[in-house]
Amino acid sequence: MATSAFPSDIITIEQMANKKMLTTPAEPVQFPLTAEILELVNTMKEKLLALEGVGLAAPQINHSKRIIAIYIPSSAALLRKEVKNYPIHFLFNPTYTPIADEKFADFEACYSVTSKSGKVPRYKKIKLTYFDEHGMQHEAIEEGFYARVLQHEIDHLNGTLILDRLTADCVQGPIDEMMRLRRSELSDEQKKLFDDLLRKKQLKKD
């Protein structure tokens, strides 16, 4: 796969110049997809695989388009109960509505927020609507961790960050502190995997 010519640096809310991009609703994608949008998709794919994260939204790499990428590898699935693997895939103009009011809180961090993370409340079950790369519309009922990732990434398209979801009653704090707390709640086997993943990501940074 050829390397994309699109800039792919993650932008963060802590940098004032990025505030508008990260807090303004993104622009809808038109079909058929243009060469520019296909190049953006390629850039997002390369970036998400390099980060080894579970999701990425176009505004996070400074592009105001309603595109998200989702990738849940086995390593991410092993850190939570009853999580299915998902190969990397893209959703265009996605939206969701809750199936019920019930929410549950779980640890979330965000590449575009470097000052804080915490246990973010999300709907347990949602109705997802999106378009694929061919412009075909799809609807699905999603729940659990996949629904959480979808809500997180779709929030980005609406100019919403985890900072907006972390209300005063949520467990939250500096990222290092929250990482230690999250690790403390894992089994011994999961702790080894967690530590290995952190080491791999640190090596990539260095």
152 assigned ligand-binding residue: yes
DSSP per-residue codes, 65-78 = B-EEEEEE-HHHHT
Domain membership flag for residue 26: yes
- What confidence category does residue 198 fall into, taking pLDDT thresholds of 50, 70 and 90? confident
- pTM, two decimal places: 0.92
Q: Indicate which residues carry an active-site annotation.
A: 153
Domain membership flag for residue 151: yes
Distance CA 103, CA 106 (A): 10
Domain membership flag for residue 69: yes
Q: At 200, which helix (H) or strand (E)? A: helix 188-205
156 assigned ligand-binding residue: yes
Residue 152 has pLDDT above 70, yes or no: yes
Domain membership flag for residue 3: no
Domain extent, residue 200, equals 16-205
110 assigned ligand-binding residue: yes
Residue-wise pLDDT for 63-92, tens only, equals 999 999 999 988 777 788 778 899 999 999
What's the pLDDT score for residue 174?
Answer: 96
Domain membership flag for residue 145: yes
